[in-house]
Chain A
Amino acid sequence: MDKKEKIRHFLQEILTRKGDSESFADDDSLLLGGRIDSLNILEIVGFLEKEFGYDLSEQEFDPNNFDSVETIAQLIRS
């Protein structure tokens, strides 16, 4: 599984747990669309730290970077 696939899989898991079974595209807005919240973002941060060793404390944090599969993938690429 590539990075993007792993991210998508994790987001799917979060949504399923929240009872949201609707599908989503890579560029679908999940945060601004109200499908994930701040606590979910922390789960994603935890996932990125654990899975990819990504350290977010060194940069300015912007929750909008966690809006979609695409923006998260971009974040860890940068």
Chain B
Amino acid sequence: MAIGTAYWLFQYPIFERELDWFSSTFNAPFVTQFILAYTLVFFVMAWLLLLLSRKWADHWLFKKPVRNLFLFYTGMLVLASYAPLPRPAWLSLWVILIIAGKYLWFLAYALSNRGKEKTPVSLIELFHFQPFWGSTNVPFPKGEANLRKIEAKSPLDLATVQLKGLKLMLWSSLLLLVFSLFDQIVFGAHGFIDPFLQGLPVLPRLNNVIHQYLVGKVFPRSICWMVLVANFLRILLDVSSFGGTFVATCRMCGFNALRNTYKPLEAKSIAEFYNRVYYYFKELLVDFFFYPTYFRFFKQHPRLRIFFATFAAAGFGNALFHFLRDITLIIKLGLWNALAGFQTYLLYCVILGTAIGVSQLRSIGRPPQNRGFLSTVFVLFFYCLIMVLDDPLRSWSIIDYCSFIINLFLPFAR
């Protein structure tokens, strides 16, 4: 595992794209030259932090280590954004923040485990920060402590898990192929079947449709709806294929990880779909936002307690995760403008958090099989529509997006 991680860290660090962008934007070639040195600085800092959190577990700093980690990271973002630092210090601080941002949730899992582990900090904990089976900013499959729990315990377990891994790898590879074909045929993306598709009509991307709408060149409503559905299917195929590949490789290494995406089109409620589509992101929100809120607030009001905890996770946690994830936008736009540009995504989180909260309350004590086909259609319709607000560019206002959505429904709108 250590060798695999070292190889991936050296060859394909998950922060490479952001650092390349940073280096060229600010004309700082030394960033890419010293990438390994910066990475080592971060890993030494992370190791020291884990060491101190175990040694001084009762110190006020480490009583709530995850909360303090995020407060510290946010403080550093403010410092890097507004403090008049000399250029080399300013550049270095941003580089460390970019690298730390990629591993933030890995560190959070490692810190949250510090009270439960009596063993000293092992290097394996750090190696898990970039598992060689792949990951996004979301740790697959959760933290290193979880990895030890799901490790195959006997040769029979190992064989079973590896076979499950192989099966999932075949399925994920098939999905990857379908995703690639879908992207090429439906959206005209470049790829290996280009020569056969010359001259065939393709759909525009959702961002393009919204942009055209805002400059007054409205696509026919039927095209808009087709784009919405195709965009939703594309995202679903993308998440299923990359998540499946990570989990399959992890299984082939002997860890019985649960699937990331599991039959999302069979979901009968909004909450169930969220649970089925990107399991490890949902688990991250549950572990760091849902449970802590649930145990802290509204103990005397069971339904409000569940709703509030769900909203804290799917609304607030989701917003925080994505705001910190898109650190290049913070650098590009400035902290304040990045926050202002986040308004549409914030609305997305509020709607999603509320919808999942209500859906959770409705599903308590109710057998899922009692809900019919129409429930599935409603769930898919909801997610198709809400994805309009899942704005990656932070370029338009809430009013622009809402006006586009209204236009989808009103026959007399432009």
Contact = CB atoms under 8 A, between A and B. Distances in A.
Nearest to A19: B369
Contacts of B282: 38
Contact of A64 (B149, B256, B309, B366): B149
A57 B367 contact: no
Interface string A2-43: 000000000000000111000000000000101001110011
Contacts of A57: 295-296, 299
Interface in B262-304: 271, 275, 282-283, 286-287, 290-292, 294-296, 299, 302
Interface residues of B, number: 32
Interface residues of A, number: 19
A39 B363 contact: yes
Contacts of B283: 38
B368 A19 contact: yes
A62 B114 CA distance: 12
B291 A63 contact: yes
Interface in A20-78: 32, 34, 37-39, 42-43, 45-46, 56-57, 60-64
Nearest to A60: B115
Interface string B106-126: 000000000110000000000
Contacts of A43: 364
Interface of A: 17-19, 32, 34, 37-39, 42-43, 45-46, 56-57, 60-64
13 contacts: A17-B367, A18-B367, A19-B368, A19-B369, A32-B149, A32-B256, A38-B282, A38-B283, A38-B286, A39-B360, A39-B363, A57-B296, A64-B149
